[in-house]
Amino acid sequence: MSFLFDRLAFLYDGFMKKAGLADEVRLLNYLGDVSGKRIADIGGGTGSLSAMLADLNAEVALIEPSVSMSCIALHKDRRIRSVNASAESIPLSDAVFDVVCLKDCLHHITDRQKAVAEAVRILRPGGKIVVMEFHPGSFKAKLILLFERLCLERTRLIHPETLKKMLYDRGVEGEIFLLNRLEYLYVGCKVGEDSTLL
């Protein structure tokens, strides 16, 4: 695991707030009613989104490779189930979640194809997948990319249409929403018996 997320985990939440990147509420607005739903927060870091989902009575699994980040998440909210694993290899059964979220994490992942395949695998047919990412055309995103590379991260931004095609190729139909100059959101539904979430 990287220096950025293991050694600097205790600084993460403060940095995200100061940088104006602690915007979980924006993602929540696209999820609808999550009460009683099983939600996977892949690459959820220190659990800010997971804790908010737990407050809304969702059953949340934080899938995070950094033990340091996971410990902070569990300190925030004991209702969160922590799964210490990479997005490319999730040790959970197929089709167990109603919703899968990936907030600002896909650009950190080396094998994005595998990570997307895993996200779709653990999502039930008819389930919703929500991905929030930095737009590669954004100047601020490029500054974030530079900072993360200075911290020895292998960060690569992903174009929204590339992401949309990756998910479509795995049986997920969805739409892209531009949130602001920095971020976009993909909201999709896994084709299946109950594909009515969009």
pLDDT at residue 95 above 60? yes
Confidence of residue 196 (pLDDT cuts 50, 70, 90): low
Q: Please, what are the domains in the chain?
A: 34-190 (3.40.50.150)
Q: For residues 65 and 154, which has the higher predicted lDDT (pLDDT)?
A: 65
Question: How far is Cα 136 from Cα 145, in angstroms, rounded to an integer?
Answer: 9
Can you give the pLDDT at residue 192?
A: 81
Task: State how far the alpha carbon of 51 is from the alpha carbons of 3, 41, 141, in Å.
Answer: 24, 10, 26
Q: Predicted confidence band at 75 (pLDDT cuts at 50, 70, 90)?
A: confident
Average pLDDT of the chain is 86
Of 89, 164, 170, give the one whose Cα is nearest residue 131.
Answer: 164
Q: How far, CA to CA in Å, does 61 sit from each of 38, 54, 72, 175?
A: 8, 10, 14, 25
Q: What's the mean pLDDT in 145-160? A: 77
| Higher per-residue pLDDT: 73 or 120 | 120
In this predicted structure, the answer to whether residue 198 has a pLDDT above a threshold of 60 is no
Q: Which of 198, 30, 35 is nearest to 127 (CA)?
A: 198
Decide if pLDDT at 13 tops 60: no
Which of 58-62, 101-105, 151-155 has the least mean pLDDT? 151-155
Residue 60 has pLDDT above 50, yes or no: yes
Confidence of residue 7 (pLDDT cuts 50, 70, 90): low
Percent of residues, the chain, with pLDDT higher than 90: 58
On the question of pLDDT at 32 being above 70, the answer is: yes
Task: Kindly state the DSSP code that residue 92 receives in the 8-state scheme.
Answer: S
Q: By mean pLDDT, which of 65-69, 110-114, 143-147, 188-192 is the weakest?
A: 143-147
Provide the pLDDT for residue 151.
63
